Structure 1
Amino acid sequence: MNSIEQSTLSTKLNKNINYLKEKFNHSTDLKIRLITINEEIKREVAILYLDGITNTQNIQDNILTPLIKIMKFESVDAVISRHLSIVDVIKITTLDEILSGLTKGKTLVLIDGYTEGILADTSDWQMRSINEPDTQRSIKGSLVGYNEQLKVNVNLLRNIIQSHKLSIENLQVGNETKTDVAIIYMDGYVDKSVLEETRKRIKEIDVTYLLEARVIEDALEGKKTLFPLVFTCERPDVTVSALYEGRVAVLVNGIPYSLIVPTLFLHYFHQPDEYNSKSGRYGNRFLRFFSWFFSIILLGLYVTIVRFHHDWVPTHFAKIFFKKSDTLLPIIWEIFFVMIIFQLLTEASLRIPKSTVIIVSLIGAIVIGQTAVTAKIIHSITLIIVGINFLSSIAIAAGGLYGSVLTMRIIFLFLGFFFGLKGIIIGLVILLIYMASLKSLGVPYLAPFIPFRPKEMKDAFIRGDLRKLINSKHSYPHKNRI
Structure 2
Amino acid sequence: MNNLVQTTLTISLEKNINHLKEQFNHSSDLKIRQLTVNDEVIRDAAILYLDGIANTQNIQDNILSPLLRIIKFDNIDAVITRHLSIVDVAKIGDFNEVLAGLSSGKTLVLIDGYKEGILADTADWQKRSITEPDTQRSVKGSMIGFTEQLKVNVNLLRNMTQTHKLGVENIQVGNETKTDVSILFMEDFVDEKVLVETRQKIKEIDVTYLLEARVIEDALEGRKTLFPLAFTCERPDVTVSALFEGRVAILVNGTPYSIIVPTLFLHYFQQPDEYNTKSGRYGNRMLRFFSWILSIMLLGLYVTMVRFHHNWVPHKFVKSFFKESDTVFPTLMEVFFVLLLFQLLVEASLRIPKATVIIVSLIGAIVVGQTAVSAKLIHPLTLIIVGINFLASIAIAAGGLYGTSLTLRAIFLFWGFFFGLKGLIVGMVALIIYMASLKSLGVPYLAPFIPFRPKEMKDVLFRGDLRKLINSKHTYPHKK
Tell me the TM-score normalized by structure 1.
0.99
Give the deviation of 1:74 after TM superposition.
Answer: 1.3
Q: Give SS of 2:176's match.
A: coil
Counterpart Cα distance in 1 of 2:5 and 2:270: 57
Q: Give SS of 2:73's match.
A: coil
Give the deviation of 1:315 after TM superposition.
Answer: 1.1
Q: Give 2:281's aligned residue.
A: 281
Paired residues, number: 480
CA displacement, residues 220-247 of structure 1 (integer Å, 9 cap, x when unaligned): 0000000000000000000000000000
What letter is aligned with 2:36?
Answer: T
Q: Give 1:194's aligned residue.
A: 194
CA displacement, residues 396-417 of structure 1 (integer Å, 9 cap, x when unaligned): 0000000000000000000000
Q: Give 2:237's aligned residue.
A: 237
What letter is aligned with 1:383?
Answer: L
Counterpart Cα distance in 2 of 1:287 and 1:35: 69
Question: How is 1:265-276 mapped onto 2 (pairs within 5 angstroms)?
Answer: 265-276=265-276
Q: Give 1:353's aligned residue.
A: 353
Give the deviation of 1:366 after TM superposition.
Answer: 1.5
Is this contact kept in 1: 2:191–2:475, CA < 8 A? Answer: yes
Is this contact kept in 1: 2:3–2:19, CA < 8 A? Answer: no
Q: Give SS of 2:182's match.
A: strand
What letter is aligned with 1:7?
Answer: T
Counterpart Cα distance in 2 of 1:5 and 1:132: 49
Q: Give 1:308's aligned residue.
A: 308
Give the deviation of 1:3 after TM superposition.
Answer: 8.2
Q: Give SS of 1:434's match.
A: helix
Question: How is 1:176-187 mapped onto 2 (pairs within 5 angstroms)?
Answer: 176-187=176-187
Counterpart Cα distance in 2 of 1:72 and 1:9: 23
Q: Give 1:73's aligned residue.
A: 73
Give the deviation of 1:207 after TM superposition.
Answer: 0.2
Q: Give 1:15's aligned residue.
A: 15
Calculate percent identity across the aligned residue pairs.
Answer: 76
Q: Give SS of 2:399's match.
A: helix
Q: Give SS of 2:143's match.
A: coil
C-alpha distance 383-33 of structure 1, shift in aligned 2 (>3 A): same
What letter is aligned with 1:153?
Answer: N
Q: Give SS of 2:6's match.
A: helix
Q: Give SS of 1:399's match.
A: coil
What letter is aligned with 1:116?
Answer: E
Give the deviation of 1:73 after TM superposition.
Answer: 2.4
Counterpart Cα distance in 1 of 2:320 and 2:380: 12
Q: Give SS of 1:61's match.
A: helix
Q: Give 1:291's aligned residue.
A: 291
Q: Give 1:125's aligned residue.
A: 125
Question: How is 1:323-342 mapped onto 2 (pairs within 5 angstroms)?
Answer: 323-342=323-342
Question: How is 1:26-45 mapped onto 2 (pairs within 5 angstroms)?
Answer: 26-38=26-38, 40-45=40-45
C-alpha distance 74-4 of structure 1, shift in aligned 2 (>3 A): farther
CA displacement, residues 410-445 of structure 1 (integer Å, 9 cap, x when unaligned): 000000000000000000000000000000000000
Q: Give 1:248's aligned residue.
A: 248
Q: Give SS of 1:7's match.
A: coil
| Greater mean deviation of Cα atoms: 5-14 or 189-198 | 5-14
Q: Give 2:426's aligned residue.
A: 426
Tell me the TM-score normalized by structure 2.
0.99
Given the alignment of the two structures, is residue 377 of structure 1 paired with residue 377 of structure 2, yes or no?
A: yes
What letter is aligned with 1:171?
Answer: I
Gaps of 5+ in 1: none
Question: How is 1:373-412 mapped onto 2 (pairs within 5 angstroms)?
Answer: 373-412=373-412
Given the alignment of the two structures, is residue 145 of structure 1 paired with residue 176 of structure 2, yes or no?
A: no
Counterpart Cα distance in 2 of 1:14 and 1:311: 89
Counterpart Cα distance in 2 of 1:2 and 1:205: 32
CA displacement, residues 135-177 of structure 1 (integer Å, 9 cap, x when unaligned): 0000000000000000000000000000000000000000000
CA displacement, residues 27-70 of structure 1 (integer Å, 9 cap, x when unaligned): 00000001011164110111000000010000000000000000
Q: Give SS of 1:398's match.
A: coil
What letter is aligned with 1:270?
Answer: Q
Give the deviation of 1:479 after TM superposition.
Answer: 2.5
Question: How is 1:153-232 mapped onto 2 (pairs within 5 angstroms)?
Answer: 153-232=153-232
Given the alignment of the two structures, is residue 439 of structure 1 paired with residue 431 of structure 2, yes or no?
A: no
Give the deviation of 1:19 after TM superposition.
Answer: 0.3
Counterpart Cα distance in 1 of 2:226 and 2:73: 64
Counterpart Cα distance in 2 of 1:40 and 1:270: 69
Counterpart Cα distance in 2 of 1:385 and 1:72: 82
| Greater mean deviation of Cα atoms: 360-369 or 173-182 | 360-369
Counterpart Cα distance in 2 of 1:73 and 1:13: 18
Q: Give SS of 2:381's match.
A: helix
Q: Give SS of 1:164's match.
A: coil
CA displacement, residues 62-101 of structure 1 (integer Å, 9 cap, x when unaligned): 0000000001121100000000000000000000000000
Counterpart Cα distance in 2 of 1:110 and 1:68: 14
Q: Give 1:367's aligned residue.
A: 367
CA displacement, residues 201-258 of structure 1 (integer Å, 9 cap, x when unaligned): 0000000000010000000000000000000000000000000000000000000000
What letter is aligned with 2:145?
Answer: G
Counterpart Cα distance in 2 of 1:219 and 1:39: 53
What letter is aligned with 2:285?
Answer: R
Counterpart Cα distance in 2 of 1:311 and 1:78: 90
Q: Give 1:115's aligned residue.
A: 115
What letter is aligned with 1:295?
Answer: S
What letter is aligned with 1:76?
Answer: I
Q: Give 1:99's aligned residue.
A: 99
Counterpart Cα distance in 2 of 1:458 and 1:333: 44
Is this contact kept in 1: 2:335–2:386, CA < 8 A? Answer: yes
Q: Give SS of 1:180's match.
A: strand
Give the deviation of 1:365 after TM superposition.
Answer: 1.5
Counterpart Cα distance in 2 of 1:3 and 1:420: 72
Is this contact kept in 1: 2:229–2:440, CA < 8 A? Answer: yes
Counterpart Cα distance in 1 of 2:16 and 2:431: 62
Counterpart Cα distance in 2 of 1:8 and 1:311: 82
Counterpart Cα distance in 1 of 2:44 and 2:62: 18
Counterpart Cα distance in 2 of 1:107 and 1:4: 23
Counterpart Cα distance in 1 of 2:311 and 2:463: 40
Counterpart Cα distance in 1 of 2:65 and 2:157: 36
Give the deviation of 1:4 after TM superposition.
Answer: 9.8
Q: Give SS of 2:167's match.
A: strand
Gaps of 5+ in 2: none
What letter is aligned with 2:433?
Answer: I
CA displacement, residues 108-142 of structure 1 (integer Å, 9 cap, x when unaligned): 00010111100000000000000000000000000
Q: Give SS of 1:400's match.
A: coil
Counterpart Cα distance in 1 of 2:88 and 2:278: 47
Counterpart Cα distance in 2 of 1:30 and 1:257: 32
C-alpha distance 179-39 of structure 1, shift in aligned 2 (>3 A): closer
Is this contact kept in 1: 2:39–2:73, CA < 8 A? Answer: no
Counterpart Cα distance in 1 of 2:178 and 2:361: 42
